[in-house]
Amino acid sequence: MNLKNTLIDALGMEIVSLEKGKVVATMPVDGRTRQPFGVLHGGASVALAETVASIGAYELVDQEKESVSGLEINANHIRAKRDGKVTAIATVLHHGRTTMVWDIKIVDEEDKLICVSRCTMAVIKRK
């Protein structure tokens, strides 16, 4: 998977671990990911959440015959973060034939909850 010249690359995300049904990734809290008020932008958190859900979902499909696409995402921003890095932990809650639902928790270096998200992924047949 080529991550160069993508949003993943632009925001400094790094995939830490990838296994069936679970993905862990980090993202810095810096000038690329902060809002003008100096804290982690909620949109950056959502981008991180959808990224880990998408990568995790793609790992669970037959990649020659299927692809995945985000269908719905929501997020609750629990705590502000000014610097350092955040870690997203995504786990699959539902793995169906045409949809998947992923739970994503974003935490700081002390394991404090920053954001919680749920992402529904569509499984799409390739033509």
Does a structural domain hold residue 25? yes
Does a structural domain hold residue 99? yes
In the chain, what are the helix, strand and coil shares in percent, each to the nearest 5? Answer: 20, 50, 35
Domain count along the chain: 1
What gap in Å lies between CA 22 and CA 36, rounded to an integer? 32
18-41 tens-digit pLDDT: 999 999 999 999 999 999 999 999
83-111 tens-digit pLDDT: 999 999 999 999 999 999 999 999 999 99
The enclosing domain of 30 has a CATH number of: 3.10.129.10
What gap in Å lies between CA 10 and CA 13, rounded to an integer? 8
Q: Which residues are catalytic?
A: 50
**Residue linked to tokens 């809002």:** 35
Residue 49 lies in domain:
7-125
Report which secondary-structure segment, H or E, holds 19. strand 14-19
Does a structural domain hold residue 110? yes
